[in-house]
Structure 1
Amino acid sequence: MSVLADAWYRNAAWLKLLRPLSALFKLLVTRRCRRQRQYQIDPSPLPVPVIVVGNITVGGTGKTPLVIALIEHLRQAGYTPGVVSRGYGTQAPYYPFSVQADTVPEHGGDEPCLIVRRTGAPLFIDPNRMAAANALLEQHDCDVLISDDGLQHYAMPRDIEIAVIDAARGLGNARCLPEGPLREPPERLEEVDWVVFNGQVPTQLLSLPPLANVPVAMQLQPGELWSLQGKGAVAPANWSGGRKVHAVAGIGHPQRFFDTLNTLGFDVIEHPFADHAHYEPEQLTFEPELPVIMTEKDAVKCMEQPPAQAWALPVEACLEPDFLSALLKQLAARSAQLMDKHNGSQAT
């Protein structure tokens, strides 16, 4: 974690020096949100509903596992979901760009590549998410779109908003950038449809405004370790490679991954990297020579030149049945409204 990020989450006193900049940032963000919503002529120009999964903090909170879980649950309910993403840090050959199972992360982005490889769902990236959505719908028969991130991308229409919060870190000092980690003020959470906590919902939501819905808990359950060299998969309990390992995590909160490995009985040598880090082989060559376990998000960037004895630990997002039931009911109602609107437009 950077020095600034560490200060945000321990509420360092010197951050108050940044308060004027934070106040200006908050003002600009609020104006931008109000302006884009005011001048959006048609709030639902797309023929299918859009679920936006995002956050109001800088850094990872667990959005990608939630997107993967939503794809699976929507399919079980009879939907055909597609996904759009900005494609953070990518250099795609062109935009909108369709991410395939064999797309390299430099072109498709680490998180989009992971989503496609795990689910096979159609996924388009473009800094203009509307362009990505239109391209996807032209080429695929999808009846619901999930926007991976994009809570602040107000040009993208949305029918359901889900904000994800890391339960262990919360909102830090609850201040906007640069004094704190927030992209938008805490009051933004009053407007979303669902607030999902990655971990246990805090008993006292001290830094949060009143929420429109009961907070939802999401637990990330580790799956089977799989070999980057194609040696198969093994449950952590059946691991026979020695318990002392190197652990690599280039995610928003690396400590969460290291803690998970410790809980599974591994003796971890921690190697945290920046979120979305791109690796050179020498960066993943460690002493002593031990097995290397990394997040699945990091693994997709290391498939061409994986470290020796490299393994990935996937996680599955476990969601509350009541939340899934209510979300599907909300989605069905919105789908019906859009269908009526579409049929009415065709009749005229």
Structure 2
Amino acid sequence: MSGRAGQPPRHWYEGARVPLYAQALSAVYGAVAGLRRGLYRRRLLRARHAGRPVVVVGNLVAGGSGKTPLTIALVERLRAAGWTPGIASRGYGRADAGTPRWVDAGTDPALGGDEPVLLAARTGVRVRVDRDRVAAARALVAEGCDVVVCDDGLQHYRLARDLEIEVIDGRRRYGNRRLLPAGPLREPPARGGDCDFRVLNVGTDTDLAAGFGEWPMWFEPGPARPMAGGRPLPLSAFAGQRVHAVAGIGDPERFFAMLRGHGIAVVPHAFGDHHRYVAEDLRFGSDLPVLLTEKDAVKCRAFANDRYFSVGIDARLPEAFWIALLDRLGPRSSATA
């Protein structure tokens, strides 16, 4: 298994002692973040409107928690309800981070970001990456989108929003509940109480249960799609076999556990979130099948061969969640009038 490069510090989630320097920096970070948040709440700093409803999907912790699968599900549900959604994203990890860009399924992830490319491929809607989320949202509206879904951005207060959805990792939650860098939090846990919806990512773990005020989100894995072309295979086709499993996401163990749950003997290879792959990263010294998350697969297309498979997931939430969300968003006609 790959090392801890790019993975969270042990003191965030594993009970290790928090270094003194991290505690000191955490106090400074908290003061600055609190001051900025207060300036927006008192309207001393002004939030900018996009001209159409904005739904922000984000989290309070640094790293992944399931935002991307929820964003895909949200876009699909909005489109089914008659909306024309577009996705705004910063495009974390892009090589030219200062350049705004339209992203589609064929965009190089190094230029568009791995998550935006995946979002474009899965949804087919307009996707705009820009460090300035306001500019990204307005660009989408100018292209005819009547609702903007912001992938990440709870802390991007400059963009006014109509709905906020906090996504919580059901297994790790808020870790040691400390602010960065002493802990994983970008903002105090109480900030989640300001969000319109709080979604608990239980993944495929049936032992996890949503608490009061939380909506459960679970995942259904799709087939393994050959990256070099060919017919998709059900995960059951790999049951009883050893495979190399590759995950460069916020919590790689979730992917490995999902595969094990289908009877697959996993040789795990965890990489840092947003890792930029080169062919050498996936040369494991054996000819076993290689199963990758969709987010990782988009970055490995250039050197994939017939042993490489992309495994996607679909987010599922209670129907009552979607009814409540669409009701809170209001009728489409009010946004386009």
TM-score computed with the length of structure 2 as normaliser: 0.91
Q: Counterpart of 1:267? A: 265
Given that 1:292 and 1:308 are in contact with CA atoms closer than 8 Å, whether structure 2 keeps it comes out as no
Partner of 1:328: 326
- Pick aligned residue for 2:242 from 237, 241, 244: 244
Q: State how far apart, in whole Å, the 2-side matches of 1:154 and 1:45 are.
A: 11
CA contact 1:96–1:135 (8 Å) conserved in 2 = no
Say yes or no: does 1:312 pair with 2:316. Answer: no
Specify which of 155, 160, 163 is matched with residue 163 of structure 2.
160
For residue 76 of structure 1, report the CA deviation from its aligned partner: 1.0
Secondary structure at 2:61 match in 1: coil
Q: Deviations over 1:20-44 (max 9, x none)?
A: 3212211111111122342344x56
Aligned-residue offset at 1:108: 0.7
Distance change (3 Å), C-alpha of 1:183 and 1:334: farther
Which string of whole-angstrom CA distances, capped at 9 and with x for unpartnered residues, describes residues 146-200 of structure 1?
Answer: 0000111111111100011110111101110111110111111111111111106
Q: Call closer, same or farther: CA 1:309–1:195 in 2, change over 3 Å.
A: same
Residues 65-115 of structure 1, C-alpha deviations (whole Å, 9 max, x = no match) = 000000111111111100000011113497321102211101111000001
The equivalences for 1:213-224 within 5 A come to 214-224=213-223
Contact kept, 8 Å, 2:244 with 2:291, in 1: the verdict is yes
| Kept after mapping to 2: 8 A contact 1:52/1:146 | yes
1:104 corresponding residue in structure 2: 108
Query: Which residue in the other structure is 1:35 paired with?
Result: 39
Task: Tell me by how many angstroms 1:10 deviates.
Answer: 2.0
Cα deviation for residue 141 of structure 1 reads 1.3
**Residue 49 of structure 2 contacts residue 161 of structure 2 at CA under 8 Å; is this kept in 1?**
no
State yes or no: 1:127 paired with 2:131: yes
Q: Distance in 2 between matches of 1:70 and 1:204?
A: 19
SS at match of 2:303: coil
Distance 1:141 1:114, change over 3 A: same
Specify the SS of the correspondent of 1:304. helix
SS state at 2:182 partner:
coil
Matched, 1:66 2:65: no
Equivalent residue in structure 1 for 2:176, among 173, 177, 182: 173
**Alignment counterpart, residue 195 of structure 1, candidates 190, 195, 198:** 198
1:25 aligns to 2:29 (yes or no): yes
Cα RMSD, aligned residues only: 2.2
Corresponding residue to 1:182 among 185, 189, 194:
185
Give the 3 Å change call, closer, same or farther, for CA 82–230 of structure 1 in structure 2: same
**Unmatched segments (≥5 aa) in structure 1:** 206-210, 344-348
Q: Deviations over 1:302-343 (max 9, x none)?
A: 11111550001100000111111000000116973x56xxx6
Q: Which residue in 1 is equivalent to 2:284?
A: 286
- Going from structure 1 to structure 2, the CA distance change for 1:203 and 1:290 (only over 3 Å counts) comes to closer
Look up the match of 1:142.
Answer: 145
Instruction: Give the conservation status (yes or no) of the 8 Å contact 1:87–1:108.
Output: yes
Going from structure 1 to structure 2, the CA distance change for 1:333 and 1:231 (only over 3 Å counts) comes to: closer
Q: What is the SS of the residue equivalent to 2:217?
A: strand
3-state DSSP class of the match of 1:316? strand
Supply the AA of the counterpart residue of 1:146. V
Equivalent pair of 1:217/1:319 in contact (CA under 8 Å): yes
Q: In the comparison of the two structures, how many residue pairs are matched?
A: 329
- Contiguous gaps of at least 5 residues in structure 2: none
- TM-score, with length taken from structure 1: 0.89
What amino acid is aligned across from residue 170 of structure 2 in structure 1?
A
- Amino acid across the alignment from 1:57: V
CA contact (8 A) 1:226 1:311 kept: yes
CA positional deviation for 1:124:
0.4
| Distance in 1 of aligned mates of 2:262 and 2:194 | 38
In the TM superposition, residue 4 of structure 1 has moved relative to its aligned partner by 5.4
Determine which of 41, 57, 60 is the counterpart of 2:61.
Answer: 57
Kindly state the Cα deviation for residue 231 of structure 1 after the two structures are TM-superposed.
1.7
1:346 alignment partner in structure 2: none
CA distance in 1, matches of 2:247, 2:123: 22
Secondary structure, aligned partner of 1:234: coil
Please name the residue that 2:233 is paired with: 234
SS at match of 1:314: strand
Aligned-pair identity (%): 43
1:208: which partner in 2? none
Preserved CA contact (<8 Å) 1:49 1:334: no
Does the 8 Å contact 1:284/1:307 carry over to 2?
no
